[in-house]
Each structure stands twice: as C-alpha cells, then as structure tokens.
Amino acid sequence: MAIDGVLLGILNNYFRAAAEASGYTLERTAYTTFIKESQDFTTGLITPSGEHFAFPVSIGAQSYIGIDYSTFIKALAPWHEGDIGIANCPFATRGVSTHLPDYHLLKPIFAEGELIGFAWAFIHSSDMGGIVAGSIQPSAYELFQEGIRITPKKLYAKGVLQEDVREFLLSNVRIPDKNWGDLNAVVAALGIADARVRQAVVKWGLDAVREGRDALIGYAESRARAVIRTMPDSHWSFEDYLEDDFVSDVPVRIKLSVEKDGEDGLHFDFTGSDPQVQAAFNLATNGRHPFLCLAMFGFFRTRDPGMPINAGLIRPFRFTAPEGSVVNASFPAATGVRYALTQLIFTIVQGALAELLPGTIPAAGAGQATIPAISTVDPHSGQRQVTVIQPMIGGSGGRPWADGVEGCDISLGSLRNTPCEILEHEAGLRVLAYEVIPGSGGAGRFRGGSALRLDVRLLHPNTIFTARGMERTKFQPWGLDGGKAGAPGDCVLNPGTNAQKRLGKVNVERLSAGDVISLRTPAGGGYGDPLSRDSAKVLDDVLDGFVSVADAEAIYGVVLDGAEVDEAATAVSRARPNAAPPASRYDFGLGRAAYMRQFPAGVLDELSGLLQALPPSLRYRGKQVAVAALRQEFDTAPASHGWLTAHWQCIEATLFGTAPAGAK
C-alpha cells in the first residue's frame, strides 16, 4: 500500500508518543537518582535492520539518533517472542553502547508472526564495577578497569529470565539492588513500547505500520538533505582540544574538515586528530556515529522545526574517522569519559558551521558536563553506596540574537538537575550552595550564559569522590565575532578555610566527613563586541548580579549613576579608541592562545603525519615524546615547522629506547 502524507504524519506522532510513553514509564519506576531525576536514559523504536524510526523529544537524552544496532541484533538472532537482549560493550556492539556504564536493551516486537521492529532503551548505571566506585576513573588506561564487559546476551529468552545472566550482572557491581531495580524499570518500559506498536497494527494494519516505519526514515532523510542543499558549496574546518588526558599535560587535538558530498550530503573528515589516548576519553564509534556530528541534528531542527527525529537525519553524512584515533578507538581502549570528547566535537561542528554561516551560529557553550559521583559506606549495613550527585553543565554561548542561557548548554539541555532535597536524602551530604557565578559569562553584545557553582559538605568518613567529563578548566569556551571567552571551570576543596586546596580536574579523591567540595562549571562565550551591548541590558545585568559595576564600565563601556545609566558618560566611555582588531573571529581565551603560539597548527599537522608511520600501539607514546622534544627545543619560541621531520629518527630512537644518553 502507498502511505499518504496524512497517515504518515499520524504514524510519526503515534510512534513518537509510544517512545515517550515508554520513557515516562522508565523514569517513574527507576531506582537511581541519575535516571529518575537527571533522565540519563533514552527509549525508542528500531527497525528489524537496526535503525531508529521513532525517538522521544520530550524526555531522556537526545544523543543517540542514528546509532546502527545491526551488529547487536545479528548477535542474538534468531529472536523470539518474549526475548530481551542486553549489552554494554562499545566494541562488541560496534558503537551501540559507548561506555560500560550504559546498559542497552532490545525487545523484539512481533505482529501476525512477523518481526516488525524492536523496543529499545538505554540507561546509565551508577555503578558497573571496575577500579573505582561509579566505574568511571578518568585516568583508566584500558576498558577492563572500567567494569564488567557484557557482550550481547539474552536477559530473557522466550519470556523466561535467564538467572545465570542476572547473577553475572549483579555479582560484579557495588549496588546490585539498585541496578536490578533500574533494569526492571527498563523491562517495563520496553513492554509499553511493544504494546503500543501492536496496537498500531490493530488500528491501521500490518502493511501500514511496516511501510510507515520505513517511510518515516526516508522522509526525515529527504528533509535533512533539503536543508543541506541550502548550504553553500564550500569546504570548512575547525579544531579544538581536550586540555589534557590526566596522564600527561599534553592537549588532545581533534581536527575536523567538512565539505559538501554531492549536492545534498556532507563529509565529516577527522584526519589529523590525535591517536587514541591511554586514558578514558576515547570514542568507540566504529567510524560512523552520531557522536561525531551531534550539532548537525540541532542545526537541522533549527532550520526545519517540523522535521521527524529518526535515523534518516544521519543518512546524508559520510565520515572519515581514522581507526586507532581518539575518535575511532580500537579495543581495549578505555571509554568511560567519552562524553567529554563528544561535547568537544559538538562545539567543533558548531565552530565549523560558524565559519560557513557567519551571523547565524552561537558562540561556544560550556562544552562539558561534569558528572560528579560519591561513594559512601552505609553505617548500618556496611555496604558501599554509589550516587551520582548532579549533572554540572554550565552556560550556553551568546547567540546572534540573544544572550546565552544560564547554567544550561544547548548540547545538554535534556539532562535535568537533581533536586537538592533528594540529593541530600540519598547521597550523604548537605548542599551549601547551588547558584550561578556572577561575572562568569563571556562578555559580548549578547552575553554568554553564566557558570554554575555547587558546594556540598560530606557527612561520612572514607568518601570516594570522582568527577567524569570535567573540561574547560584551562582552555575556555570561545567567544565569537568580538565576544569574549567564557570563564573556565574549577573544583576547590574546603574553600575559604586554611585547608583550601585547588583540585582542578578531578580524577579520584578520598575525602573525610566535614570536607566541602566546591564545583564550578565553565561559562558560555560571548557573541559580538561588548561595547555594542544595549546599555539598558548592561544595567539589568548589574542589578541582577551577573555583572559588577566595575566591569560594566571597564568591559561594556557603560557608566552607571546608582540604578540608572549615565548616558553622557557612557557615550564618552564607548567612544574611547578600540584596541587592535582581533586576528580571528574566535576568542579562545588565554590558555589555548598560549598553546597555539607554542604549537602552531602546521607543526601539529606535521606531527600527525609522522605518527601515522608508527605502529598504532605506539602513536600515543610517540606523541608524548615528540611534544617533550619540541618543548625542550623551543622553550621560549614557537615550534618550527620541519624540525620534527628533521629529527624524527632521533625521536623514534628515544621512543624505542635506543637513543644514547643525552641525545637530543
């Protein structure tokens, strides 16, 4: 049968509602705070071949549109009524799960004896075993340290719980009761999605559901390609850095080039990005993954708000992500903090779009999600508990038409904060402050969104504190077109006391009862020249506590007389001679600017090419040796292009331990 436009629209709304009903069931029945409060989960509907045809937009994480589930599905074939598959391994599923704490579950949907799709859900488990409570230690150097690895298994076979699989899952984690409670919530959610799709078959018929399922993906693809056709035929690029990887202080480079692929496709080329690191920041993408292009989905929806949300959105894209690189890591790379890199890539794609479409793209947001977790020992049972505290995000970037959003980045708007009362009840702490940080948003005609601060006092001895995803403590979120970079993030132990200690980026800390942790997120970059900001808005910022009186004059050129703008003095202040125009549309902040002065892009391109000649297992170490040599040779001057090539044999000799002592 041919699906007309009216029925296709009805089916799109129905399937999306089915996915959302499944999500609300999961939210309301989950056990752990990070699922039931922060909503780090997603539900959806998948075709028999492994593509999303329905995805929720009102609940859950929005980062998984376009993942290919075919490997997971084939691994457990044949599927039967009542089966539920489960997996968490990024490599065995070829990028379905992206780190071990993410359980992914599939339930086949049958109608009239035919497999017509799968109900799907993922949840982030607060503990999956491994080297540290909460499972994610940024300095972990291999997958095996990060928890139990679950290759695709059937948790239920023909409706029967597989007790050996259940026992395996729960005997290797620190909070088995909560893990099992969350998994039962997923099973309930999958059942809701299954029932809703079966009801659609009863209402519209099997042919309509089958053809509508596939037509929706094709329709989303056609709408995405229509947007691409409006984009200029051009080649544009951008690069940015993880500021370090906890193993060394050498930044991790991600380089992206984008160009039209035909008239209605895009090619994302990550050639020149760094080798996979010996820390937990790697992406296991199998070379094609939504984590490599997330900002494009938001761009599509901005240009075409009625566009369906499904796997069709990723079909126009082709990817080049070199195997063994940090964006396409090889087994057994650690991947626990993979979302720090995903967030960086989001802002890289955003920056590339700003190159192509000036005047339409916001400045960089915080570009990270610090997910702190604490583990305490229950004084009554003696068992160790694990609780994710709060998704600490930071402000979004100033927009060409409006200020950024305080404490909420556009790339992470789906993650919700945990109410302080619930946090205090479940986590063994007291919340002392949860607030925006005055003066943190990047200055601009449109100000960047403010950073957040969370101060908590610990109530139990021998508390283990970790914080995954923490970034932008040295390299700030960039401002755009005259806007200034946003403030960096930080973490301070016992602020304002004699025991104050700057932790910076947190790996693992063992703390005591009475200790106070103060987390500060980055703020969004500003957009446009601060001197062009409406003086009334500057006054509002001062009255609201976002900008100080001194900064109003020093940065924005606005002179205040009490609670009013002194217009005459402001006109004089704003007429002052400007500094030299910026060399770039982007203000990257002092940290990255200093790094780029020492290591120009051409030198890093040269290094990337030389590393490719090394065996993949040696490229990471080769980079460390090469950067150390450059720093020694060019201590006070920018590194020189060609120097690495001329000295590469000596660098290789150092790498392999064959260089004589004292050789340079």
- Residues 27-77: tens digit of each pLDDT: 999 988 878 877 889 999 999 999 999 999 888 887 889 999 999 999 999
Q: Amino acid identity, residue 148?
A: I
Q: Are 530 and 541 in contact (CB under 8 A)?
A: no
Inside any domain, residue 286? no
Among 346-350, 585-589, 635-639, the minimum mean pLDDT is found in 635-639
Residue ending a domain, among 223, 249, 264, is 223
Specify the pLDDT at position 580: 66
Residues 512 and 613 in one domain: no
Q: Cα–Cα distance between 503 and 490 in angstroms, integer?
A: 8
Burial 94-112 (b: 16+ CB within 10 A, else e): bbbbbbbbbbbbbbbbbbe
Inside any domain, residue 263? no
């959003």: which residue's tokens? Answer: 405
pTM: 0.92
Phi then psi for 29, rounded to 5 degrees? -115, 0
Inside any domain, residue 538? yes
Cβ neighbours of residue 397 closer than 8 Å, sequence gap 6 or more: 362, 363, 364, 365, 404, 410, 442, 448, 449, 477, 479, 480, 486, 524, 525, 526, 527
Inside any domain, residue 354? no
| C-alpha distances out from residue 649 to 168, 197, 468, Å | 50, 63, 38
Residues 639 and 584 in one domain: no
Q: Which two tokens stand for residue 512?
A: 């005591």
Residues 576 and 642 in one domain: no
**Can you tell me the mean pLDDT for 278-302?**
93
Residues 367 and 494 in one domain: yes
Number of Cβ within a 10 Å radius of residue 616: 15
The parent domain of residue 154 ranges over 5-223
Q: Are 106 and 155 in contact (CB under 8 A)?
A: no
Rg (CA), the chain: 26
Residues 621 and 568 in one domain: no
Residues 417 and 556 in one domain: yes
| Whether pLDDT at 571 is above 70 | yes
Residues 505 and 559 in one domain: yes
Residues 495 and 623 in one domain: no
Structure-model confidence comparison of residues 415 and 334, the more confident one: 334
| Whether pLDDT at 122 is above 60 | yes
Specify the pLDDT at position 579: 64
Tell me the range of 3-7, 122-126, 384-388 where mean pLDDT is highest.
122-126
Compute the C-alpha angle 573/441/258, nearest 5°: 110
Residue ending a domain, among 588, 619, 644, is 588
Using 50, 70 and 90 to split pLDDT, how confident is the model at 661? low
Q: Is 114 left (phi over 0), alpha (psi -120 to 50) or beta?
A: beta
Residues 575 and 623 in one domain: no
Using 50, 70 and 90 to split pLDDT, how confident is the model at 132? confident
Inside any domain, residue 302? no
Inside any domain, residue 288? no
Using 50, 70 and 90 to split pLDDT, how confident is the model at 217? very high
Q: Which two tokens stand for residue 460?
A: 């139990």
Q: Are 39 and 390 in contact (CB under 8 A)?
A: no
Q: Cα–Cα distance between 413 and 1 in angstroms, integer?
A: 40
Distance of CA 60 to the CA centre of its chain: 14
The one-character DSSP state at 129 is: -
| Whether pLDDT at 455 is above 70 | yes
Q: Are 471 and 340 in contact (CB under 8 A)?
A: yes
In the chain, how many domains are there?
3
Residues 603 and 583 in one domain: no
Identify the CA nearest to 314 among candidates 293, 342, 284, 341.
Answer: 293
Q: Amino acid identity, residue 251?
A: P
Alpha carbons within 13 angstroms on the beta-carbon side of residue 35 total 31
Specify the pLDDT at position 507: 86
Residues 31 and 114 in one domain: yes
**Can you tell me the mean pLDDT for 371-389?**
79
| Whether pLDDT at 664 is above 80 | no
Residue ending a domain, among 223, 243, 267, is 223
| Whether pLDDT at 589 is above 90 | yes
Distance of CA 226 to the CA centre of its chain: 27
Specify the pLDDT at position 109: 98
Inside any domain, residue 308? no
Residues 515 and 624 in one domain: no
Specify the pLDDT at position 168: 94
Inside any domain, residue 292? no
Burial 405-423 (b: 16+ CB within 10 A, else e): bbbbbbbbebbebbebeeb
